[in-house]
Chain A
Amino acid sequence: MDTNNMHPVMKWVEHRLPVFSFLDHSLGTQYPTPKNLNYWWNFGSLAGLVLVIMIVSGIVLAMHYTAHVDYAFNSVERIMRDVNYGWLIRYIHMNGGSMFFIAVYIHMFRGLYFGSYQAPRELLWIIGVFILLAMMATAFMGYVLPWGQMSFWGATVITNLFSAIPLVGDSIVTLLWGGFSVDNPTLNRFFSLHFLLPFVIVGLVVVHIWALHVHGSNNPTGIDVKSEQDTVGFHPYFTVKDFFGMGVFMIFYMFFVFYAPNFFGEPDNYIPANPLVTPPHIVPEWYFLPYYAILRAFTGDFFVYQIVSLGGLLMDAKLAGVLAMFASILLLLFMPWLDGSKVRSCSFRPIMAMAFWIFFLDCLVLGYIGGKPAEGIYITIGQFATFYYFAHLLVIVPLVSRLERPKQLPDSINASVLKAAE
């Protein structure tokens, strides 16, 4: 970095702590970025933006929230009614959870389509999956804090899942609860962990970006950067593009905050928690619905269960469902090796692209089924969609990626940009 033109104060700092050259290499003119990135590449910075908003709004909420079963619900309502702009802070935080998952899910599907998980970005992808897991834990515990009916019963259902683990399951559940049912100790530890985990996510994000900066962003062609012609400096090209994306995203986000703040929520959570009254349908937040559908697909007569449990010998259906639910995410860790193709981007792998879109649809179907009661045709559809989810990851991706002959790749990123401009 040229320090001669710097302001003397900046120069003084730079000499002792090279923060300006660090920034320049991280987000500045010295960070070469493929110039063909499309708008799907905006969602990483958008997720980062939401993370910051969540931490800031969350810290303010924590100043007013009371983590006690007798006061939690009313303390949230006090925030809504009596704290200055409390309703705004709370609705920003509440809808921010949904926005975070929207951004991250699009970010992940983008990675899947363009093969961003492939060498040399395997660890980058794996760290990303861990970020998703940390987000899920954080979101789950955050949803418990208002201590409404869905908070309480969601906590009861999800923590009870761990009882399916053989031998130690019940002890784990007791540990999670801090007692023998979901009660005050549960609420307290969830509040504590809900405050802690976002900072763990920040740490993971730092490592995620560190790993990203080693080889730089993947790009829509999936081919490596070959010369300086393929890239532009991150600043100003992608700083301005990211800022524009943030503007669009904030319009979407703020529409919900101001005009449909409870759209993503459940009305039942405005009823104070009551351990004696079970709501008719216990449903998790929308971003958990696909996993919930996978969990519930495992009934005794589900053919996948019959196969994996050797006709019911190995485990009961509940344990199988819990394992499948965790496997549905943990399998993503192995994507770099499940996909054996030499070509990253699905733009040059038409069969894989089709498989990707069917998989995407399958995830939407699972989400839809997860929100429906487990009865009638919903069970059948949910079981088929669950079967397909695993078939895609374990069979279709490994086979198609190894058998499909990719289309001719462009000579370089620059060549592909010039060709598209024709």
Chain B
Amino acid sequence: MHMNKIIKSLVALALVGGVLTAGPAGAAEGTRAPKQSWSFNGLFGTFDRAAAQRGFQVYKEVCAGCHSMNLLSYRHLSQLGFNEEEVKAIAATVEVKDGPDSDGEMFDRPGLPADRFVSPFANANAAAASNNGKVPPDLSLMTKARIGGADYVYGLLTGYEDAPSGVEVPDGGSYNKYFSGQIIAMAPPLSDEAVEYTDGTKPTLAQHAKDITTFLAWAAEPEMEARKRMGIKVLLFLLVLTGMLYAVKRKVWEDLH
């Protein structure tokens, strides 16, 4: 009878576990992008700084033409290993509208590290008007905002192919096997040698996609490294504490058993 109970409890827990894992993932659709091995995976994962820096270059030279990253400031880039001077230099390459000044006039000035990433378009309507009526989404949270996360973003960037026969691709659209519905308004943004790297890395499409995805993963979860580092300490602490509590519990209950 006692054994029976234990088995039942285990079955119940397994079932709960099963539903928990099956439940929230319920809204999947289309082809799942294959899993990649990322530097930021796992309990001890960190962002590959070199890849993320190259990724920022890809963003700046390719993506930033259409996609904003509203939640980031130039000062955040120091987390990727850029030093203070480099961050200032990067910020200074953009023009920021500021004001009003003491005469009530708006004026342009070079960017500062505290400025948010400058958006390519003045507003959503302007963005839509330049992009076939579709607003290119902000990329700040992209790897968190799509099912499949970084794997999906990488899959999407490398998933362009010729449409299978019988599939009509409308003007201005492209066929992408990982995009929901397969017809995507974004033309293939990357190709081999789309960006010229300065560190000697071979500029292949796959490399570009990997780098920009690493950069976007950092942009979406800049706290991830601190979180995982703290997590180890917290879990180790809790394991020891719980072990000691169990010993105390055993001791207290000893005279009853």
Taking beta carbons and an 8 Å cutoff, which residues of A are in contact with B?
Answer: 35, 74, 77, 80-81, 87-88, 91, 232, 236-237, 240-241, 243-244, 247-248, 250-251, 254-255, 257-259, 261-268, 270-271, 280-281, 283, 286, 289, 347, 357, 360-361, 364, 367-368, 371-373, 420-421
Contact = CB atoms under 8 A, between A and B. Distances in A.
9 contacts: A81-B222, A237-B253, A254-B231, A258-B227, A270-B144, A281-B27, A286-B24, A357-B8, A364-B18
B257 A421 contact: yes
Contact of B241 (A241, A247, A420): A247
B141 to A, nearest CB: 4
Q: A-B pairs with the 9 shortest C-beta distances?
A: A258-B231, A371-B26, A247-B242, A270-B145, A281-B27, A87-B223, A244-B245, A270-B141, A270-B144
A165 to B, nearest CB: 29
Interface stretch (B94-102, B192-200, B209-217, B232-240): B232-240
A172 B19 CA distance: 34
Nearest to B22: A368
Interface string B136-153: 010011001111010000
A59 B141 CA distance: 25
Given A263-B24, A280-B29, 14 more contacts: A243-B245, A247-B245, A254-B235, A255-B231, A258-B235, A267-B146, A270-B144, A281-B26, A281-B29, A368-B19, A368-B22, A368-B23, A371-B23, A372-B26
Contact of B228 (A77, A258, A263, A371): A258
Nearest to B234: A254
B23 A286 contact: yes
B252 interface: yes
Contact of B223 (A80, A266, A368): A80
Interface in B136-187: 137, 140-141, 144-147, 149, 180
Contacts of B2: 420
A243 B253 CA distance: 14
Contacts of A254: 231, 234-235, 238
A350 to B, nearest CB: 11
Nearest to B12: A360
B249 A283 contact: no
Nearest to A232: B256
A258 B234 contact: yes
B19 A258 contact: no
Nearest to B242: A247
Contacts of B245: 240, 243-244, 247
Contact of A262 (B5, B144, B222, B249): B144
A244 B24 contact: no
B122 interface: no
B257 A267 contact: no
B107 interface: no
A236 B254 CA distance: 12
Nearest to B219: A81
A206 B245 CA distance: 27
B71 A81 contact: yes
B145 A271 contact: yes
Contacts of B71: 74, 77, 81
Contacts of A91: 227
A104 to B, nearest CB: 13
Contacts of A88: 227, 230
A378 B238 CA distance: 41
Contacts of B24: 263-266, 286, 371
B106 interface: no
B235 A371 contact: no
A236 B252 contact: yes
B253 to A, nearest CB: 7
Interface string B104-123: 00000000000000000000
A270 B221 CA distance: 12
Contacts of A248: 242
A267 B231 contact: no
Contact of A364 (B16, B25, B246): B16
A78 to B, nearest CB: 8
B235 A244 contact: no
B15 to A, nearest CB: 6
